[in-house]
Amino acid sequence: MRTANPHDRVVVVGGGIAGLAAALHLAPLPVTLIVASPLGEQACTPLAQGGIAAAIGADDHPALDAADTLQAGAGLSDPDVAARVAAAAPACIEWLVAQGTRFDRTASGDSLILGLEAAHSRRRIVHADGDGTGRCVLDALIHTIRQAPSIQIVENHRVTDLALDGHGAVAGVVCVSGRSNENDEPVLIPGRAVVLATGGIGGLYAHTTNPLSAVGGGLALAARVGAVLRDLEFVQFHPTAIEAGTDPMPLATEALRGEGVVLINGRGERFMQDIPGAELAPRDVVARAIFAQIGAGERVFLDTRHVLGDRITSRFPGVTALCRDAGLDPVRDPIPVRPAAHYHMGGIKVDDQGRSSVEGLWACGEVASTGLHGANRLASNSLLEALAYAASIADAIKGTVSQRLTERSLSPPLDTRPSLFGQLTPDLQQIRPIMDRQVGVLRDGAGLQDAIGRLRALMRNGRAAEVRAAGMVGLMIAMSAYRRNESRGAHQRLDHLELRPEQHTEITLGQALRLAAEIDETAAPARRVA
């Protein structure tokens, strides 16, 4: 194994908003930024349409923003985290402006235009290029980062393992070239600290808005070194992915409903009218209502015609283009939609500064569980969370680096375990339908048990290493859902519609494997009888 860039640097993994913001905030510390693809591709960040929540309107206050976050989180959002992130939002927006992001402004140019999204009590969504926020933000950060002298960018390299030092602390990463990892030698990149910013898990589901590469790779890396993962069962299904026969599915942003666009079924009926909040109810409520219509044999549409008419082309140019690519004319036709896996509230458990339970390992962005989102994420809170935590992580690493270096050297041989990853293009077709049907919008104990058995088998016997890793992540999500015997936020158990006292689920890989083996043993006699 070759060793590159020895010693004294921080390794950041991921080229979305979380990775880039962390790398920039870490300056002047030397950073190696590793991204599986060319920068700007295969990440959720450029797909973000709605924008970034920030309480900067005259009628708004961070306390109101935090209260909306707590309300959406269904009892599991941490009030301190919500208050801290909401308070940090105006500075995060200013920071992005300083990096070159051009947010949409009023005609005079004096103030930012603020959009409204579901479950926000005020207009507070800052956006850029209409519905092109994520792309604009990412382009600005990429431009800055390419000129940052402290940051070495390693594109098209995929981290396959975390390296441990002799004390069990994470002390680097192993990566392979994304072009042809079959023959390439793995490269070991040591680091004082590793920040995982690897994004979400939507690609594990048959219907998703995420890039198909978003299969929880960061969760697998962290789980394998013993990190505690939290609230993995909370997967947000976006209610209005556009049904256009594409995989992944394009998104019709919530901001459309914020502008008054309504949902109708195939008979032209508004089925959300009598539900509290109507079309602007929390995402899980809208997703389940649409799912129920689909279950009853209906198709569901977003009807923009009366509220927006041809204004949709200027206010929502991205959605308009996506529709037109799919052969739809949103000025004249209602847009067909359905729920799709969109965002993972659960993740690597981190503290207030983004530190995981394993020394030397940090997590930022969607891969982390900070306590902000609880059981359901409030719209436009994830870009904000990544920005707020990137700054905290950088401050904390700057404060702790010298201590670690003097206390312990990297001289003990690094322990790199055999990689679970191997192939670049995963064949996840065996996993995706299981996740969709049994770990999806609606769940029950029997279905989850069955999913656990199947995912365990794929984890153990999957032909490609990446299928085995994805099976492991799917198994841990299914196991967490199985253990939560209640319905809360995005997690709806048909066999447990009740609410129980509020608590988080925490799981390690070791626990998940033990529990899965027990479940399999219990199910085995039943299978033999059948």
Ligand X SMILES: Cc1cc2nc3c(=O)[nH]c(=O)nc-3n(C[C@H](O)[C@H](O)[C@H](O)COP(=O)(O)OP(=O)(O)OC[C@H]3O[C@@H](n4cnc5c(N)ncnc54)[C@H](O)[C@@H]3O)c2cc1C
The separation between CA 161 and the C-alpha centre of its own chain, rounded to angstroms, equals 20
506 strand-pairing partners: 230
Residues 145-164 that bind ligand X (CB under 6 A): 158-159
Looking at beta carbons, which residue is closest to ligand X? 16
> Which of 69, 101, 293, 380 contacts ligand X by CB under 6 A?
380
Window 252 to 311, contacts with ligand X (CB under 6 A): none
Which window, 38-46, 86-94, 303-311, 476-484, contacts ligand X (CB under 6 A)? 38-46
The contacts of residue 138 (CB under 8 Å, 6+ apart) are 16, 17, 20, 40, 43, 45, 46
Does 366 bind ligand X (CB under 6 A)? Our answer is yes
- Residue selected from 11, 12, 15, 112 as contacting ligand X according to rule CB under 6 A: 15
Task: Report the distance separating Cα 418 and Cα 80, nearest Å.
Answer: 40
Q: Give least dist CB 106 to ligand X, A.
A: 20
**Site for ligand X contains 347 (CB under 6 A):** no
Cα 54 to Cα 65: distance, rounded to the nearest angstrom: 8
User: Which are the catalytic amino acids?
Assistant: 283
Shortest distance in whole angstroms from residue 243 CB to ligand X: 15
Kindly state the tokens that stand for 104: 């949409």
Strand partners, 229: 348, 507
Phi, psi of 146 (to 5 degrees): -65, -20
Choose one: 34-42, 94-102, 285-293, 300-308; the region binding ligand X (CB under 6 A). Answer: 34-42
Q: How far is the CB of 46 from ligand X (least distance, A)?
A: 7
Alpha carbon 112 to its chain's center: 26
CB of 526 to ligand X, least distance (A): 38
Binding window for ligand X (CB under 6 A); candidates: 4-12, 48-56, 281-289, 492-500? 48-56
CA dihedral (235, 45, 245, 316) in degrees, to 10, reads 110
Which residue's structure tokens are 């208050």?
Answer: 83
Complex with ligand X: residue 383 or 451, whichever CB lies closer: 383
Of the candidate residues 27, 30, 37, 305, the single one contacting ligand X (CB under 6 A): 37
**Residues 198-227: x/- map of binding to ligand X (CB under 6 A)?**
xx---------xx---x--xx---------
Minimal distance in Å, beta carbon 236 to ligand X?
Answer: 9
Q: Is 382 in the site for ligand X (CB under 6 A)?
A: yes
**Interface residue with ligand X, options 76, 251, 350, 469 (CB under 6 A):** 251
* Member of 12, 17, 112, 372 binding ligand X (CB under 6 A): 17
Pairing of strands 335-344, 114-115: unpaired
Nearer to ligand X among residue 392 and residue 449 (C-beta): 392
Give the residue with the Cβ less far from ligand X, 101 or 133. Answer: 133
DSSP states along 8-24: S-EEEE--SHHHHHHHH
Asked if residue 36 binds ligand X (CB under 6 A), the reply is: yes
Question: What HEC string does 209-269 produce?
Answer: CCCCCCCCHHHHHHHHCCCCEECCCCEEEEEEEECCCCCCCCECCCHHHHCCCEEEECCCC
Three-class DSSP category at 417: coil
Residues between 386 and 405 that touch ligand X (CB under 6 A) = 386
Spatial CA neighbour of 258 closest among 137, 45, 113: 113
- Residue 13 pairs in a beta bridge with 34, 196
Nearer to ligand X, 159 or 312 (CB): 159
Total residues binding ligand X (CB under 6 A) = 44
Question: What is residue 114's three-state secondary structure?
Answer: strand
Nearer to ligand X, 132 or 447 (CB): 132
- Enter the DSSP assignment of 331: T
For ligand X, the closer of residues 29 and 220 by Cβ is 220
Residue number with CB closer to ligand X (48 or 70) = 48
Strand partners, 164: 170, 415
Nearest to 227 by CA among 367, 62, 47, 412: 367
* DSSP, residue by residue, 31-88: EEEE-SSSTTSS-SGGG--S-EE---STT--HHHHHHHHHHHTTT-S-HHHHHHHHHH
The reply on whether position 16 binds ligand X by CB under 6 A is yes
* Site for ligand X contains 343 (CB under 6 A): yes
For the bound state, the minimum distance from the C-beta of residue 390 to ligand X, rounded and expressed in Å, comes to 9
Among 45, 69, 376, 487, binds ligand X (CB under 6 A): 45
51 is a site residue for ligand X (CB under 6 A): yes
CB of 35 to ligand X, least distance (A): 5
Per CB under 6 A, does 44 bind ligand X?
yes
Find the binder of ligand X among 12, 24, 29, 49 (CB under 6 A): 49
Q: Which residues bind ligand X (CB under 6 A)?
A: 13-19, 34-37, 42-45, 47-52, 133-134, 158-159, 197-199, 209-210, 214, 217-218, 251, 342-343, 365-367, 380-383, 386
